[in-house]
Amino acid sequence: MSNHPVPQRTTAPFGTWLSPISAQVVAAQGLRLGYVSIDGDDTYWLEGRPGEGGRNVLVRRSADGQTCDVIPRDANVRTRVHEYGGGAYLVADGMAYYSNFADQRVYQIPCLTGSAPQPLTSEGAWFYADYTIDPARTRLVCVREDHTPRPGSGQAGGTHEPTNALVSIPLVGSAEHGSPHTAMSPGDVIASGHDFYSTPRLSPDGSRLCWLAWNHPNMPWDGTELWVADVTPSGALADARRVAGGRHESIYQPGWSPEGRLYFVSDRDGWWRLCSMGLALSGPTDEPDTVRPTGVVPVVTNPPPDAEFGRPQWQFGWASWAFADRSTIVATYTRAGRWNLATIDVASGVLTDLRTPFEPAEWLAVRPHAAHDAHHGPAQASSLRSAQADSAQALFVGGSATMPQAIIAVRLPGPTQAEAVSEVLRSSSSLHLDPGDVSEPEAIEFPTDGELTAHAFYYAPSNARFTAPPGERPPLVVISHGGPTTATRATLDLQIQFWTTRGFAVADVNYGGSSGFGRPYRERLNGQWGIVDVADNVNAARFLVAQGKADDQRLIIRGGSAGGYTTLAALTFHPEVFKAGASYYGVSDIELLARDTHKFESRYLDGLVGPYPAMAASYRARSPIHFVDRLSCSLILLQGLEDKVVPPNQAQLMADAVRAKGLPVALLMFEGEQHGFRKAETIVRSLEAELYFYGAVFGFIPADSIEPVPIDNL
């Protein structure tokens, strides 16, 4: 028993508690980690640094634990393909290849010499992503999005929908280039004709290329096609054939085994499962778009019935499986909103969970045992052997309920090691919190419309130095995640703890349409956006009020992007529930969004609402901007002025309408911000402004010293 006295807690109303997590702390500790990969004994990842204007920096960690930045300070590893990007770099044999955000050209740079980067592509309106290297032909193969205006097509001025394709980019020093400064081109098209492409991956012997393709109006989680082609000595593709997938089957992360067997994740049975197929195919056919029977088989013989091994592919380069050696696959999968790490025995198909406190995020790489010469999946470069390991090592970005996101290395059980051993290589935060200040998530299921059940994580107010007056119930912040086909995580998020340490409860809702709960749960939102998601957020709030965990007079809803739309729709169409809301770059007029957004999402609403303009009446009926007269609560809107996904005029129109009705409203516009805030100063101002707004609306004074926010009609 400890002899240390328990600190006396101060009694203070919810919302007024002094928190150890300031907005400055959130921004300073908000390092974004992602896209971990391996090259020999070195480990690489991207760091999104709010203190450097939000730029993405490629970082190398050597075998001795030393880290350094690979790119110069004026570089930013980020691609604009699909606007959401991802897959913006590749490292192979000590050379890094990356998309630079400022000009979207592809560059190469030696990882060790400190030399200046050299461009591989010419200047122009071309964006590149999702690289794989073809060492036999001295080239990169990747996705290219061509934004070059075409005279006479599209709107006035010659604008048009960009064209996507797979292209080949010769590397510096190859016969095609001769020198770093000659013969640069936008790349040679090797596959085209579909609206979208992703995940080009070469077989171990370089003789075959697989990739994903899909067409409007599908999104990649609706239906994708898996294609395979033979690669000729010249690098051209021959006998391209679709081998799996279609309009109603979502294929995710195709890749190859060391023996050249094709592996991929498919939701053909209603859950994203890991599958494989042989490619002993018949000869050429007159119907190349017809699937040939190739014997798709499930890889795991004992999968949990509610497990999913895939994610909605919002960005390129995500990975949930990789070969550790010829007999073992490392995989991540989700159940009930929580992600797990496991190994799969290739021969038996038996899945074995690895005990680790960390939940893996979207990126997985594997460094194999030194004795194995295995070819690896899409998150890895070509040379992945470790001379020092006595067992394979899984690397991923992960976190836990009490630990922030970090680069994690897990040494797999091996000849001299009985259990998996985890090591943190790089943490996104150096903040050390008192355990009493951390609110851990409670998974809840609650009844919702249609006699169905929905999911959320509930966070109770938690502060080691404060307690609330007896009988007071906390204000509740209901979070509607973006996407909408994504999912919220149960790992430590300082933006959630920002609220709970001040005395707010939080409900982070995985409403119908969220991923990780099977295809039928995802498809609840088909044709029902603005209805199902809104109902689930409303019912989460009502459920927690009934449980005595929230004050029904201080219910708040907040969300960003699609979550911002759900926020605005909930406030508008259910004015009796929430008393305040915060919309971060949210959609107020979905009809305008259908008319004016980027290519990747330009037909997304066909599935979420219905074809436009045929169902224009439904678009208007679900757009909050047309029903501001129903609003009865306060609203704060926060918007980036360079947002290409949700144009800034959406926030301005909503603010004007709320102001005209006489309701309290605040509008904050941020220069230099796009879809999702990246700059430290923006993160600080937006969080503080939101807290200030709630204090003004609910009549409490936050403990923080905050620059006042202009609020109309208060």
pLDDT class for 702, splitting at 50, 70, 90? very high
DSSP conformation class of 136: G
* DSSP assignment letter at 572: H
Is pLDDT larger for residue 266 or for residue 649? 266
pLDDT digits (tens, 9 = 90+) for 425-469: 999 988 889 999 999 999 999 999 999 999 999 999 999 999 999
Q: Average pLDDT for residues 116-136, to the nearest whole number?
A: 97
Tokens of 484: 């909408």
Least confident of 16-20, 47-51, 205-209, 530-534: 47-51
Whether the bond between 484 and the residue before it is cis, its omega within 30 degrees of 0, is yes
Q: Which residue has the tokens 């008192």?
A: 434
Structure tokens at 478: 């209901």
Is the predicted pLDDT of residue 543 greater than 50, yes or no? Answer: yes
Give residue 338's pLDDT: 96
Q: What is the pLDDT of residue 176?
A: 41
**How far is it, in rounded angstroms, from Cα 47 to Cα 29?**
12
d(CA 131, CA 444): 40
Residue 139 has pLDDT above 70, yes or no: yes
- Looking from the CA of 192 toward its CB, the CA atoms found within 13 Å total 13
CA-to-CA distance for 166 and 147, rounded, in angstroms? 15
What three-state secondary structure class fits 411?
A: strand
Cβ atoms 639, 651 nearer than 8 A = yes
pLDDT one-digit tens code per residue, 34-58: 999 999 999 999 999 988 988 999 9
Phi-psi region of 222 (alpha: psi -120 to 50; beta: other; left: phi over 0): alpha
For the chain, how long is the longest CA-to-CA vector? 82
Extract the runs of DSSP E, i.e. beta strands, from 302-358.
Answer: 321-325, 328-335, 338-345, 351-353
Q: Could you report the per-residue pLDDT of 643-679, keeping only the tens digit for each?
A: 877 888 889 989 999 999 999 999 999 999 988 888 8
Higher local confidence (pLDDT), 416 or 480:
480
Tell me which of 3.90.226.10, 3.40.50.1820, 3.20.20.140, 3.40.50.970 is the CATH number of domain 432-698: 3.40.50.1820
Task: Please report, rounded to a whole number, the percentage of residues in the chain having pLDDT higher than 90.
Answer: 81
372 pLDDT above the threshold of 70: no
Residue 382 pLDDT class (50, 70, 90 cuts) = very low
Q: Where does CATH 3.40.50.1820 sit in the chain? A: 432-698
- The tokens for 172 are 């510096």
163: pLDDT strictly greater than 60: yes
pLDDT at 57 (0 to 100): 98
pTM here is: 0.90
Number of alpha helices (DSSP H) and beta strands (DSSP E) in the chain: 10, 38
Using CA atoms in the order 645, 647, 648, 651, what is the torsion angle rounded to 10 degrees?
Answer: -90
Comma-separated ranges of CATH 2.130.10.10 domains in the chain: 38-323
CA distances from 121 to 133, 177, 702 (A): 15, 11, 52
What HEC string does 614-654 produce?
CCHHHHHHCCHHHHHHHCCCEEEEEEECCCCCCCCHHHHHH
% of the chain beyond a pLDDT of 70: 90
For residue 647, the model assigns a pLDDT of: 83
The 10s digit of each residue's pLDDT in 185-196 is 999 999 999 999
**What mean pLDDT is predicted for residues 545-568?**
97
Interval 400-416 mean pLDDT: 89
Q: Please tell me the distance from the alpha carbon of residue 513 to that of residue 578, in angstroms, as a whole number.
A: 22
pLDDT by residue (tens digit) across 274-302?
A: 999 987 544 444 444 444 445 899 999 99
Crossing angle of the two packed helices 562-573 and 532-546, in degrees rounded to 10 = 70
Residue listed under structure tokens 């959320």: 456
- Tokens in use for 615? 């169902």
- What integer is the mean pLDDT of 627-647? 91
Q: Please state which of the ranges 22-26, 271-275, 329-333 shows the lowest mean pLDDT.
A: 22-26
User: CA–CA separation, 301 vs 677, rounded Å?
Assistant: 43
Mean predicted lDDT score pLDDT of the chain: 91
CATH topology of domain 38-323: Methylamine Dehydrogenase; Chain H (2.130.10)
Amino acid, single-letter form, for residue 66? Q
Please give the C-alpha separations between residue 666 and each of 209, 502, 681, in angstroms, as whole numbers. Answer: 52, 22, 18
**What does the CA dihedral 142, 147, 153, 156 come to, rounded to 10 degrees?**
170
User: What is the predicted pLDDT for the residue at 279?
Assistant: 78
